[in-house]
Structures are given as structure tokens and as C-alpha cells.
Amino acid sequence: MSNRFFITGTGTGIGKTVVSAILAEASGADYWKPVQAGFEEGTDSEWVSGIIFNKKTCVHKEAYKLKLAASPHLAAREENMVVDLDNIVSQIPSSDNLIIEGAGGLMAPLNETEFVVDLIRMMKVKVIIVSKNELGSINHSLLTASVCKQYNLDVAGWVFNGNYMNYEEEIVKWSGIPRLASIRHSPNIDRSFVAGEAVRLRKEFNLFS
């Protein structure tokens, strides 16, 4: 049976790519970011490919690779393109175990009428929400949880990133969504950090059990 998890978050820049890499390293699952917006400093797929150690994970090619670092609908418009969700769904890798990283948060627009949350519903996959421990994270997290409930998404749980303050218990209690794991803060996100967090997470839970 295929196990596919969509990694979303409470916003942009909260650690989805780092969490995706750690989960892939811990489980040996494949990685796919279907929509990449902005690649002047390299793509997220390239970063993940270069930071994991295991020999099982395959990093799959993006369905859309857009130049502008902006909301996908704007980045596509700059190139006279439209992000087609049916096209993305048709390219889902057939991997038994797959980590899919989303762009931005649930309500990030992919085109003029459809959002990341619509793509998740079409894919029919489980969701993992990344919440960064920072000022404002309770509000952002509960809003994200509310959208998940509104759209009847199958949410596996939270992964908390960083340690600004310990908001985890409150977010779990008020959202009704369980905690899967917490990623420690590090000023240097390198191969050693990803490998170490992967070992720690592997002891806590098996994502693909």
C-alpha cells in the first residue's frame, strides 16, 4: 500500500523543506516538490538531494519550475503559464512511500481559482503540518488547522520546528491534531544536523508503519 504525505505549513519560510528532508532521511521515502517558485539560489529539490545520506530516497523532478520567487500563480503568470492541478496529479510518482512538499501554506494560490488545499484534496493524501515555534505561531497554527477541518483533510499531525517558546501543548489541545515530532533549533542546517534529527525521529515514531 502506498503511503503519501503532503508537507504543508503555517506559512512560508517555516521549515517545510528541512522537515521534508529529515523525514525522507529517517524513512527512506522519496521526495517530490511539484511546484518550485524561484530557483536563483537553487531549488528545494536540489537542496534535499544534496543533504540526505540514505541511498533509498529518490528526489523526483518538479511538475512546474518557475523562475520568480513569489506566489506560484504570480510566478506562472510572469512566464505566461498557468499551473494546472490535473497535470500535477497526473505526475505523482508511483513510489510506495512519498514525501510531497507544498509551496507556502494551504491557501497559497496555485492559479487564479485554485489553492494548495485544492491540490491536496485532489491528491487524496495525508497531511503533515509544520509549525515554527515563533511569535504568532499559535494564531497561524490554529488558522491552518481550521482550514484543514473546513476542507476535511486527513491530517496525520504536527511537526514543530524550533524552540522560541513551547507552544506545542496549547496548539495540540486547541487544534485537536496530535503532535508527531519536534525538530530542534540549529543555526547551521547541514548534513550532520539532518542526519542527527533523522536518527532521533526514527526512534520516536515510524511514519510509514
The number of folded domains in the chain is: 1
**Span 55-72, pLDDT tens digits:** 999 999 999 999 999 999
Residue 209 in domain: no
Q: 41: burial class by Cβ within 10 Å (0-12, 13-18, 19+)?
A: exposed
pLDDT score of 166: 77
Q: What is the largest CA-CA distance in the chain?
A: 47
Residue 133 domain-assigned (yes or no) = yes
pLDDT in tens, the chain (209 residues): 469 999 999 988 899 999 999 999 999 999 999 999 999 889 999 999 999 999 999 999 999 999 999 999 999 999 999 999 999 999 999 998 999 999 999 999 999 999 999 999 999 999 999 999 888 899 999 999 999 999 999 999 999 998 767 789 999 999 999 999 999 988 889 999 999 999 999 888 777 76
**CA-based radius of gyration for the chain:** 16
Let me know if residue 208 belongs to a domain.
no
Residues 6+ apart with CB under 8 A from 80: none
For residues 159 and 171, the answer to whether their CB atoms sit within 8 Å is no
Catalytic status, residue 149: no
Does residue 113 belong to any structural domain of this protein?
A: yes
- Per-residue confidence (pLDDT) for residue 2, from 0 to 100: 62
Inside any domain, residue 173? yes
**Strands 97-101 and 3-9, how do they pair?**
parallel
In a domain, 54, yes or no: yes
Helix (H, G, I), strand (E, B) or coil at 139: helix
What is the pLDDT at residue 1?
42
Question: In this structure, what CATH number is given to the domain that contains residue 199?
Answer: 3.40.50.300
Asked if residue 32 belongs to a domain, the reply is: yes
Provide the domain limits for residue 136: 3-203
Whether residue 115 is contained in a domain is answered as yes
Q: Find the catalytic residue in 33, 61, 65, 126.
A: 33
Write the DSSP string, 57-124.
--EEPPSEEESSSS-HHHHHHHTT----HHHHHHT----SEEEEEPSSSTT-BSSSS-BHHHHHHHHT
Instruction: With 0.75 as the threshold, say if the pTM is over it.
Output: yes
Q: Cα(171)–Cα(156) distance, rounded to whole angstroms?
A: 15
Mean pLDDT for all residues in the chain: 94
